[in-house]
Chain A
Amino acid sequence: MKNCAKILSIYASDTAGVCSMLYELGGMTIVHDASGCNSTYATHDEPRWYSKPAMVYISALTEMDVIMGNDAKLLEDAARAAKELHPRFIALCGSPMPCMTGVDFPALAAELEAETGIPVLGLQTNGIGSYITGAGKALKMYLERFARLDVQKNPRLSVNLLGATPLDFSGSRQIGAIKEVIRQSGFELQSCMAMDSSPEELRDCGKAHVNLVLSASGLPAATYLKETFGIPFAAGVPYGEKFAEKLFRDLRKSAEDGQDRISCADRPAPEKEKCLAIIGESIGAASLAAASEESAKIFVPQALGPIFLQEQDSVFADEDEIEILSGKAGAILADPMYQPVIPAGTVFHALPHEAFSGRCYREMIPVLTGKNRESGVQLC
């Protein structure tokens, strides 16, 4: 059935992407949606929910609010909450129902900002797009608003990490390992956008010499930082040792010559079609394929906006297509929730992806970076 999922889960929505990206930055994120929907956006796939406080709220949209176009109620409630909670900023974003009635979030943001004097980001999310687009838009808008333009470059070679959210990297262990190898490789870490980094570190991101784009969510911000500060980027996740070394060499080269490098796309084509296929987000899956001991290709869901693909890679629109594609692969590495649609004869390796299966398999997510990486995927 075209564009239909009978068995598979769906990826986290653009609204969840916004909540995830802004979670630690001291703002108040308000999703315009019915009461009770908070868990959909910020609990089931948010490992920080029970350990780090954040101001993620739902507007408790009612049927009559929708029918009457009751924007004023949202603005009044938001202003009242802001008066009590003193957030650094407010983010307003949408869900499917405001999308249907055409609520204009940028316009509401301007009104709320005039009312409260607090910076307000208006994000036109619809709860239907992927987390990649929501997280990407949120980070870019945050930087456009808060990144300081009058900063001096750090005297030491420094880097920003872009596109880090638990939706792709789960808890702090994975991001912690990535930060550690970056520091061990002689880089100073300016900021990690946006996990375990302070708003001040993000504000001063212009001090960095180069950006490392860890997921497609980081790409809009990378483009903005290139245009605004001239900071080039390399794209890839430092999985394994050899690929991490290559990635760091690319980062140094980019810092020197100002050119962007898509390190994760620099992969030889597998000699045979029946090789390992990795299903997932473009940059993460491609980095795993580049780091894999055996030759590998990637399958990226259309919903995640595939980027940087190579000839051997494929895009799939629905579960019928991934079933057919998987039958042609030698083995599949993917979130466990894909297993029911993988043909019986195809070897399946599980690698949970929080944006797809939420907290269901969170404890199984291995650290794949650094010398102390955990088993699960054979990386060189």
Chain B
Amino acid sequence: MLKIAIYGKGGIGKSTVTANLAAAFAKSGKKVIQIGCDPKADSTINLMGGKSILPVMNFIRDNDREPETPEEIAHTGYGGILCIETGGPTPGLGCAGRGIITTFSLLEDLKLFETFQPDVVLYDVLGDVVCGGFAAPIRENYASHILIVTSGEKMALYAARNIHAAVQNFADRAYAKVFGLVMNRRNVENEEEKVRTFAEEEKLRIVSEIPRSNDITRCEDKGMTVIEGAPESEAAQRFAELAETLWKECNP
């Protein structure tokens, strides 16, 4: 089972990358689960035809009980992808990190992986590793590899450096390792040079370059990934190539 966690600065395109990767894996015949680990709960929206799904935290809040079957919180989207959102507390209250830990513990209790038997699990994680909860997806038995999404923008690279440092702090633990950077182009000046310099400094590979593309915007406006809505586009091809690379190099 291939398990990947996707990190990066808020707004950098993590959900776009994750959902397109999920769609690319599904299109190649893999059984996929995508777990959105962000209180905004919008990770899987473009796999669900533009519709939001009920996050786990909302389910618990609305029903005053924990879900008893995976079906109560897992929704099937494009290509049979099982979509789950952790969600989070009421904005400004509670503890979002704890929400992620609770959701993961719940998914274990529900034996989600044993029941669905996925080939690929993708964790789409909130912008930065701000506390223990947001490191949960990279713990032993969860993700084995990490992708960091960045552009050439200064703050995106700053966040990528922080994320890499956080992962390196766990070097003594059997946590996930960073597989590489996904350059999600914003067409800033000297973007490629900036990202390549950063990658060299951090000793990281750039494993994919996603072009700035109106196809992505147009498809997302329709609630789709480019894999679904513009399969011939360059962006779709890049996502398909990245999925293939991950399957070849990271699948245990």
Contacts and interface: CB of A to CB of B under 8 A. Distances in A.
B131 A110 contact: no
Contacts of A114: 172
Interface string B133-161: 10110011000000000000000000000
Contacts of A69: 131-132
A110 B170 CA distance: 12
A102 interface: yes
Contact of A100 (B95, B139, B170, B175): B95
A101 B139 contact: no
Interface of B: 95, 97-98, 101, 131-133, 135-136, 139-140, 170, 172-175
A324 interface: no
A367 to B, nearest CB: 39
A230 interface: no
A102 B174 contact: no
A73 to B, nearest CB: 15
B98 A104 contact: no
A10 B234 CA distance: 61
Interface in A270-301: none
Given A69-B131, A107-B140, 7 more contacts: A69-B132, A100-B98, A101-B97, A101-B98, A102-B131, A107-B170, A114-B172
A107 B173 CA distance: 6
B64 to A, nearest CB: 8
Contact of A102 (B97, B170, B173): B97
B172 A111 contact: yes
A366 interface: no
B140 to A, nearest CB: 7
Given A102-B97, A102-B98, A107 B131 contact: no
Nearest to B133: A102
A69 B135 CA distance: 12
Nearest to A126: B105
Given A69-B131, A69-B132, A104 B173 contact: yes
A101 B173 contact: no
A106 interface: yes
Given A102-B101, A104-B139, A110 B132 contact: no
A139 B131 CA distance: 31
B219 to A, nearest CB: 36
A26 B193 CA distance: 59
B174 A103 contact: no
Contacts of A107: 139-140, 170, 173-175
Contacts of A103: 132
Interface string A51-95: 000000000000000000100000000000000000000000000
